[in-house]
Chain A
Amino acid sequence: MEGLTLSDAEQKYYSDLFSYCDIESTKKVAANGRVLELFRAAQLPSDVVLQIMELCGATRLGYFGRSQFYIALKLVAVAQSGFPLRVESINTVKDLPLPRFVASKNEQESRHAASYSSDSENQGSYSGVIPPPPGRGQVKKGSVSHDTVQSRTSTDQQEPASPVVSPQQSPPTSPHTWRKHNRHPSGGNGERPLAGPGPFWSPFGDAQSGSAAGDAMWSGHSPPPPQENWVSFADTPPTSTLLTMHPASVQDQTTVRTVASATTANEIRRQSSSYDDPWKITDEQRQYYVNQFKTIQPDLNGFIPGSAAKEFFTKSKLPILELSHIWELSDFDKDGALTLDEFCAAFHLVVARKNGYDLPEKLPESLMPKLIDLEDSADVGDQTGEVGYSGSPAEAPPSKSPSMPSLNQTWPEMNQSSEQWETFSERSSSSQTLTQFDSNIAPADPDTAIVHPVPIRMTPSKIHMQEMELKRTGSDHTNPTSPLLVKTSDLSEENKINSSVKFASGNTVDGYSSSDSFTSDPEQIGNNVTRQRSHSGTSPDNTAPPPPPPRPQPSHSRSSSLDMNRTFTVTTGQQQAGVVAHPPAVPPRPQPSQAPGPTVHRPVDADGMITHTSTSPQQIPEQPNFADFSQFEVFAASNVNEEQDDEAEKHPEVLPVEKASDPASSLRVAKTDSKIEEKTAASAPANVGKGTTPLAPPPKPVRRRLKSEDELRPEVDEHTQKTGVLAGVLASQPSIPRSVGKDKKAIQASIRRNKETNTVLARLNSELQQQLKDVLEERISLEVQLEQLRPFSHL
C-alpha cells in the first residue's frame, strides 16, 4: 500500500466516515457492515466495490482498518469520478472529489464533506476537485490545488483515451468557471449552485475559439478570460456553444457532478432534487438570455414567435422531443409565443438539459414567468438560495440542506398548484369557449322560438266576450279592425308564431290567439280559430293573433256567430289591403246555414269564404256568378271557379295559389263533396265569419286524417271545402243586393260582414299556410332523419 496523501478536507471527511463506521469505537477498525453500507450508498456497481475492497487491502486483512478505510474511500472517489480503479490512482488521481454516498444517513457526511471541502477550499472546492489545466494555478486556493492541478493535468494527459471520456472533458470546464469565479466572485458565488451549467459557459467560449466538436480542444485550450467567455456567449451563436456543450451533456451526469466537486455535486444533487436552486437564473445568465432575446426580438416586451424560437432552440441540438417538452414547460400561457420570461425559462431549461439535468415535469417555480417577475413571492425559496449563494460556501450547504427539504416539498406543490390553477383558469375558459359555444348553438331550436311567444292567457272568454259586445255595440271599428288588420297582415306575412309573439304583447285577445297559435297542433289551431272567433267577438283586437287552428267543437257555432258579427263590424271599419285582398270574401250565408255543417265548411270556407266575401261586397252589383248560386250544388264548383277567377283578376295577389288549386279542388268537391258544398252554401251566407270559423277547425282535423296518407290531399280537400264554402258564401251574396230598398244598409252590413269574413278567412288562410309550412318542415326533418338513419341500416 502506497502512502495515501489526503487533502485536509479529505482527511476530515474520511475520519468522519471512519468514525461513523466505527460503531464499536475502536478507533481502529471500521465495522464491516457499516462500511458495506457506505459502499452501497456510494452507488457503485458491486464489482467495483469488490475491487475497491480488494485494492484497499481489506479483503486481505479481513477488516477495515483506518488506512484501508481511507484507501477504500479514496478508491470510491476515484470510481465515482470515473477513473479506472488502480492502486496507484489513489495518489495519482489527485484532486478527486470527495466520495459521495447517496444514502440519506450519509447526507450528513456529505454535508460535512461539503463543509470541509468548502471550508478548506472555499471556491476552490470547484477547483480543488477539478484540476485546472496547467498554468491555471491561480485559480486554486485550496491546499490541494497545487498537487491536484498538476496531477490532474497529468491524468488528463494520461487518459486521453480513457474509456470514460467525461473526466477528460469535464475538468476543463471547471477551470473556466473557476477562473470566472475568481474574476467575478459575486457571480461565481451566485453560480455555485449552477456549477453544473456553469462550467458549460466556458465551452461556449471554447467553441468559439476552436472547433465545435473538438473535445480535446478543451483540455488544450487555455480558457479565454471569463469576460471573453461572457462575451463569447453573447456573440457566439448558440449553435456552436451548444454544440460543444452537447458532448459534455452526453456524458455521464454523475461524472459531471463529481468532477465539479463533492460539495457542489452534493449541493447540485440536492438542489436538482429541489426545484429551486438549480433552476434559479443568475444575473449573468439572465443578462445573457436577455441579449439572446434581443437578437431575435428587439422589443423586450414583445413575443418571440414559435417558429423563431424553434429555430433558435433547435440549434442547441437537443432532441426535438426534449425541446418540445421544454417548450411545453416554458410556454406558460400556451400562446405559441415566448415572452422574455418564458424565453429565459426555456433557455435556462435548455442549458440545464445540456448539462445533464433532467427536465422537470412541471416548470420550476423559479422559472415561472410570474414568479420571476414578482421576485417577492419567490423570496422564500430564493432567499435561502441566495443566502446559500451569497454566504460563504461553507454555510451554504448546511443552510440549504435543512431548508431545502421543506422548500422542496412546498414549492413543487405550489408550482403544481399554481400551474394547475392557472392552467385550469385558462383551460376552463378555453374549454368553455370551446364546447359551450357548440352547446349554445344547439338550444336554438325552433321549438323554443315557437313556444316563446308564450301562450298567454286563458282568461275567461266571457269577459272578453262582453268587451267585444260592448265594442261591437259601440261600433268601435278602429280598434278591432286595426288589430285584425294588423294581425291578418302579419299572418299573411309571417309565421303564426312571430305574429303571435307580437300580439302576445298586445291584447288579451292576442293572448288568446297567440296561445292558440302556439299550439302547432292543427286541431288546437282549429280550436284557436274558434276561440279566436269567440274572443274576437269579445275583444276588438282579436284579429291580431294568427288565426288559431280551428277546432271541431261545438263551440264553433257560438264563436262563429260571434265572429260573424265581429268580423263584419271589424271588417267594415278598416280593411287592409291584405285582409281584403286575401280572399275574396264570401258573403256569409243566411243563418240557416249556421248550424249545419260547421265542421265541414270550415276548411273550405277559410279560403274560399275569404276570397268570396272580400269580393262579394264589391261584386254585389255584378253578381252574375252569384246568380248561379241557386244551382249551387252543381255549379258551385264553376261558380267558385268563376268567382275565383274574378277575384283572381281583382285580387291577383290574393290566394293565387289557392285559386289555382281551388278550381281543381272545387271540381273534386263538386263531384265528391256535394253535401259539403250544400252545407257550406248554407252556412256561408249567413255567417261568413261564422262559416269561416267553422271552416277552420274541420279542415285541420280533416287534414290531419289525411296527413298521414298524403300531405297534399288534405290541402286539396281544404281547398275543395273552402271552395264549397265560397260557393255557399257566394250563393248567399246574391240574395243581399236584391233588396235594393234596403240596399244601403244591407250593403253596408254585408260589406261589413264580408270584410269580417275577409279578415277571418285571411287569417285562416295564413294559418293554413303556416300549417303547410310546418308540415313541409316536418317532412323535411323526417327525410333528414331518414337519411341519417340510413347509413346505420347498412350496419
Chain B
Amino acid sequence: MAVCVAVIAKENYPLYIRSVPTENELKFHYMVHTSLDVVDEKISAMGKALVDQRELYLGLLYPTEDYKVYGYVTNSKVKFVMVVDSSNTALRDNEIRSMFRKLHNSYTDVMCNPFYNPGDRIQSRAFDSMVTSMMIQVC
C-alpha cells in the first residue's frame, strides 16, 4: 500500500505530496527528499542513452527497514515517488508499475486543465481521489 505519494517538479520542489496520516508524516517527506538524489543518479546514469530509450519506471530506489521507495520519471523530468510499506510483501513490480501509470494518467489530466498553471501545487480533486484510492486500496 502506498504510504506516501509525491509528485516532484523538474526543479525538485514538490507539486503534490500526500501521506497516509500517521503520527510522523515528516519522515515520509524526508524519505521522498532523500530519494530525489537517487532519482537524479539514475537519470544521469543513463544519460548517454537517448531519453526515448530510458524507461520511465525507475524501480526500487532504495529500501529501508520499514519501507521501500519507488521512483518514476516522466519525459519532462517530473518525478513521482512512492513510499510503500515493506510489510506488504504481496506488492509486485507490476502493481507498482500500474500505480505509477495511473499516477501519470491523472497527472496528464491535471496538466490538460487550462486552469492549472504548471508549477502550481496540484489541487485537483480528481487527482486527490485517485491518490486516495491508491493509498487505500493497496493496503
A residues with CB within 8 A of B: 306-307, 309-310, 313-314, 320-321, 323-325, 327-328, 331, 334-336, 361, 427, 430-431, 434-435, 438, 441-442, 787-788, 791-792, 795
Contacts and interface: CB of A to CB of B under 8 A. Distances in A.
A151 B53 CA distance: 77
A435 B57 contact: yes
A307 B55 CA distance: 32
A328 B57 CA distance: 27
Given A334-B112, A335-B112, A336-B114, 8 more contacts: A309-B114, A314-B115, A325-B124, A327-B113, A327-B115, A441-B52, A787-B45, A792-B41
B125 A361 contact: yes
B112 A306 contact: yes
A434 B108 CA distance: 11
B105 A434 contact: yes
Nearest to A359: B125
A320 B113 CA distance: 11
Nearest to B117: A320
Which of B38, B62, B109, B123 has most A Cβ within 10 Å?
Answer: B109
Which of B100, B112, B113, B115 has most A Cβ within 10 Å?
Answer: B115
Contacts, number: 72
B97 interface: yes
Contacts of B125: 325, 328, 361
Interface string B73-113: 00000000000000000000000011011101100110011
Contacts of B31: none
Contacts of A314: 115
B115 A438 contact: no
A434 B105 CA distance: 8
Contact of B113 (A324, A787, A792): A324
The 4 A-B residue pairs whose C-beta atoms are closest, nearest first, are A306-B114, A310-B114, A324-B115, A791-B41
Interface in B28-67: 38, 41-42, 44-46, 52-53, 55-57, 62
10 contacts: A307-B114, A313-B115, A324-B124, A328-B125, A331-B112, A334-B112, A335-B112, A438-B57, A791-B41, A791-B45
A328 B62 CA distance: 35
Contacts of A313: 115
A782 B98 CA distance: 31
A324 to B, nearest CB: 4
B116 interface: yes
A441 B115 contact: no
A430 B126 CA distance: 17
B41 A320 contact: no
B46 to A, nearest CB: 8
Contacts of B55: 438, 441-442
Contacts of A309: 114
Contact of B123 (A310, A324, A438, A795): A324
A314 B116 CA distance: 12
Contact of B114 (A327, A435, A442): A327
Nearest to B40: A791
Contacts of A788: 45-46
B123 A431 contact: no
Contacts of B100: 435
B122 to A, nearest CB: 10
A331 B113 contact: yes
B118 to A, nearest CB: 13
User: For chain A, what secondary structure do more than half of its interface residues adopt (helix, strand, loop), or is it mixed?
Assistant: helix
Contacts of B115: 310, 313-314, 320, 323-324, 327
B113 A435 contact: no
Nearest to B111: A336
Given A324-B123, A442-B55, A787-B45, A435 B101 contact: yes
Nearest to B45: A788
Interface of B: 38, 41-42, 44-46, 52-53, 55-57, 62, 97-98, 100-102, 104-105, 108-109, 112-116, 123-126, 129
Contacts of B41: 791-792
Nearest to A427: B105
A788 B125 CA distance: 39
Contacts of A307: 114
Nearest to A318: B115
Which of A324, A325, A335, A442 has most B Cβ within 10 Å?
Answer: A324
A785 to B, nearest CB: 10
B19 to A, nearest CB: 22
A320 B117 CA distance: 10
Nearest to A326: B115
Contacts of A321: 123
A435 B123 contact: no
Contacts of A325: 124-125
Given A306-B114, A307-B114, A430 B105 contact: yes
Contacts of A792: 41
B47 to A, nearest CB: 10
Contacts of A328: 109, 113, 124-126
Contacts of A336: 112-114
Contacts of B114: 306-307, 309-310, 327, 336
Contacts of B108: 430
Nearest to A324: B115
Nearest to B49: A784
A334 to B, nearest CB: 5
B126 A434 contact: no
Given A321-B123, A328-B125, A431 B113 contact: no
Contacts of B129: 361
A325 B129 CA distance: 12
B113 A434 contact: no
Contacts of B123: 321, 324
A334 B56 contact: no
Contacts of B42: 791
Contacts of B46: 788
A513 B101 CA distance: 45
Contacts of B57: 435, 438
B115 to A, nearest CB: 4
Given A324-B113, A328-B113, A791-B45, A431 B102 contact: yes
Nearest to A432: B101
Contacts of A787: 45
A427 B41 CA distance: 31
Nearest to B127: A328
A792 B129 CA distance: 36
A773 B96 CA distance: 38
A321 B124 CA distance: 8
Nearest to A328: B126
A102 to B, nearest CB: 26
A310 B55 CA distance: 34
A328 B130 CA distance: 13
Nearest to B109: A334
A431 B101 contact: yes
A579 B42 CA distance: 47
A327 B116 CA distance: 10
A434 to B, nearest CB: 6
B41 to A, nearest CB: 4
A106 to B, nearest CB: 32
Nearest to A304: B114
A318 to B, nearest CB: 10
Nearest to B123: A321
A474 B27 CA distance: 83
A277 B123 CA distance: 29
A210 B8 CA distance: 48
A427 B97 CA distance: 15
Contacts of B44: 791
Given A320-B115, A442-B55, A434 B101 contact: yes
Contacts of A431: 98, 101-102, 104-105
A664 to B, nearest CB: 34
A528 to B, nearest CB: 33
A424 B79 CA distance: 24
A336 B113 CA distance: 6
A324 B121 CA distance: 12
A248 B53 CA distance: 56
A335 B111 CA distance: 11
